[in-house]
Amino acid sequence: MNGVVEFISKGGPAMWVIAALSVGTLALILWKLWRLSLAGAWSGGAAERAVTLWSEGRADAARSAVAGRRTWRARLALAAMAARQEMPEAAAREETERIARALLAEARTGIRVLELVATIAPLLGLLGTVLGMIAAFQTLQEAGARADPSALAGGIWEALLTTAAGMAVAIPAGIAQSWFESIADGLQTDMEDHATRIFTRGGGSAHGG
């Protein structure tokens, strides 16, 4: 533990900020994975079965297949079926779109934060490096002819630590952001597909719209 603290301290204040950012980023990624798992981001079997039943005209069985499920696809499918049966078509489509937007916003929670981390972490690293280089050259100026090249080199590599640390935080954050975006995009595609099939096939709607 002392070694870690000493290593971070060599990078100056910017290194502490980057270290805190790395901990927060890791916590956000783990929370996001847990949240996606709970919301069924990688499983859509129940919603697909429900839409298939709906297409066959078995509306009650279709709604039962997703009733009580908390996955995003199932919630959207159930809401679309209920709206289709209980509202005029135009109103049902608007209600379904509203719920889909809310679910997608929920699915994208935290992604913008990862995008921000991927942007500012390298900048913080660069700032730390610039400040470190300034300090190193100030030391060189004060030493004058007695300057020790090895001391200058040590100051420079310590200054460069923050750049490396900033990139080490930004790269995983950028990768996680892209991955979570692709999951959200896939979820949006599935929702659009399910909603379209619900509104164009079977189901025995109560309103002809």
- Using one digit for the tens of pLDDT, what is the confidence trace for 127-140? 888 888 887 777 76
Q: Is the model more confident about 77 or about 145?
A: 77
| Whether pLDDT at 146 is above 70 | no
Q: Is residue 7 part of a domain?
A: no
- Does the residue 138 lie in any domain? yes
Would residue 88 count as lying in a domain? Answer: yes
Q: Residue 188: give the domain boundaries.
A: 12-200
Pairwise CA distance, residues 153 & 209, whole Å: 76
Amino acid (1-letter code) at residue 73:
R
With respect to residue 2, please indicate whether it lies within any of the assigned structural domains: no
Look at residue 70 and tell me if it is in a domain. yes
The answer to whether residue 209 is domain-embedded is no
Residue at 208 is within a domain: no
151 vs 170: CA distance, rounded Å? 30
Q: Tell me the pLDDT tens digit for each residue of 10-47.
A: 667 888 899 999 999 999 999 999 999 988 888 888 89
pTM: 0.81
Count of the separate structural domains present in the chain: 1
Instruction: Kindly report, residue by residue over 152-198, the tens digit of the pLDDT.
Output: 666 677 778 888 999 999 999 999 999 999 999 999 999 999 999 99
Q: Please check whether residue 51 lies inside any domain of the structure.
A: yes
Kindly calculate the radius of gyration of the chain based on its CA atoms and give it in whole angstroms: 27
Would you state the pLDDT for residue 134?
Answer: 80
3-state secondary structure 3-21: HHHHHHHHCCHHHHHHHHH
